[in-house]
Chain A
Amino acid sequence: GRCYLYMKTIERAAFPRRLWERVLLSKNYEKALEEIDENLIYWPRFIRHKCKQRFTKITQYLIRIRKLTLKRQRKLVPLRRKIERREKRREEKALIAAQLDNAIEKELLERLKQDTYGDIYNFPIHAFDKALQQQDAESESESDAEKEEEDDEDTDKREFVEADDSDLSDFEDMDKLETSSEEEQEEEEEVEKKASYAKSKGKTPLKGPARRKQRYIQIEYEKETEPTTKTKAA
């Protein structure tokens, strides 16, 4: 933009159309300052000074505008309230319909079934059940061998998994292992439980959950030791 110098004098106050006198200033900054000086020659020093200050400010912000238009400009996109509200509502409903936790769990279990995790997790129980159903013969020996291995791996798993839940979950697994060959299982379970019972007696800080485990174990224990004690006595 070009800058003009506007001057008014009291003599022209009666003629508003001709009140302001306009002078185009040159593009060169110094020359323009000289022109201002020339035009305002008999005006008080203070007014001249202020005029030149104002001119400096104007030129500087014009320079800045030109620089900024070359750079990236932020585009403001207006939000429409109705649409925002609608989107928000739909998002909430979609979230509820999605049932994310269930979906994720299902997907993970699918992947487990399809063996993408390989040998890390060893719960092949249901896979073996299916194998049992498919192959009628030679089922019991296989499952026995595998279950012995599973017990070993359950003890390994206790290290692999953190926190107290692991022990309880192992016992849940133990309960679910009663598909076939229960006698051997019972013996192994009792061995396991005796070991853990001894362990939990040692652990003093975990009194609360350990006690709960003890009670749980005790109930099971009473049921199962009776036949063995009887057989031992006999």
Chain B
Amino acid sequence: SSLAPWVPVVGLEIHAQISSNSKLFSGSQVQFAAPPNSLVSFFDASLPGTLPVLNRRCVEAAVMTGLALNCSINKKSLFDRKHYFYADLPAGYQITQQRVPIAVNGSLSYSLCIDNKMSQMVTKTVRIKQIQLEQDSGKSLHDDARSQTLVDLNRAGVGLMEVVMEPDMCCGEEAAAAVRELQLILQTLGSSQAVMAEGQLRVDANVSVHHPGEPYGVRTEVKNINSIRFLAKAVDYEIQRQIEELENGGTILNETRAFDSKLGCTVSMRDKEGKQDYRFMPEPNLPPLILYDSKSLPANMNHQQVINIDWIHERLPDLPSVKREKLVKQYGILPEHSFTLLNEDGLAEFFESVVKQTQMKPKKVIGWILKDLLSYLKQHSLTVKESPVSSFLLADLLNLLEKKEISSTAAKQVLVELWKGEGKTPLEIVKEQKLELLQDQKELEQICQTVIDGQENEVIMMVLG
């Protein structure tokens, strides 16, 4: 039994909060960590008689994201109501897109290091089933001490894009890499800030295992994953748990489990919804969402009134994969270098800025960026923006090195000094610490002679062998 191989199957449901000024169906503001219930419109509070009005920016964000993920954009998509009772859902239903979502059938390519070696990267693809627009819920906190539930509706109604990734992944590492790439794409597009810590990107994993050739096993849904690192851990734990359970003759329940980051395991959630029937029904207050492309756009349409998919497509920024290719091509760096550059917010820009300001070849600059700069930042938990060494200063230093005015050892010493952020220039530090390389041959001979003269005995020993 433990000899037969197991094939783990991992799919993901990702909720990305749309980066917009106002909510999906109402004009109240979107803002993180505002005072409770300070960003709640009448519609968000579900006051009777209020109606949803679709936010154009949210639609554009979803179209951009769909195009970036190679999806077909549905020119007609529909809104539905998904009903359930919960304190953070004031209307008793969520407006979502169950029947016909805005985008379908896309793909996402991501890269993995084999055996943790950056030099061996492999590209994988995961299919995107669909992207749908839907409302976020509010937040509820349980105050057990006072037997009450506190409800904050600031988040209720914020626009979400739900991105459904097909079960094409096989382990935590793949899931993590796919989500990381999605995160970068969303941030590049600006359609979501996708910061997991602020709840702007939430990931639920669907995990199952089966023997090759056999049908897929029962899957569990894993929730409460708060970082990409925990995602990998949660998925791998759950795969292992299922394998052990099955090998011990047990069965897997089709249930929801929560990841406990402290214990590093998944725990069965008391099924708060049971086998919920959401009683889906078309949302009667929103007409079908019609999008146009250049071919179908009616002649007299007011540009403000319509969304033109082609117009959006033309204006998409370079996606991470394209950016990486360009970096490799333009600067002759290795693919794995470009990955690291894009993985760190602002690092690619920093690198390019240094390259512009120095004569040193990019292939050499990259070493300084990835080894010296990045490791220092990591050690001190700083972002590139917070770096005490600016691209100007680093370029200045590298120029000294390039002109052979200092050795590379000396350069590293200067860098250490620069980190202190005392405002000295590299040249000033070099002069202070007397790190200049000697260019004068005669001066060099004189120094050597002085050393030899001072070490007579050692010299004789050396000459004698």
Query: Is the pairing of A and B real?
Result: no
* Partner-B contacts on A (CB < 8 A): none
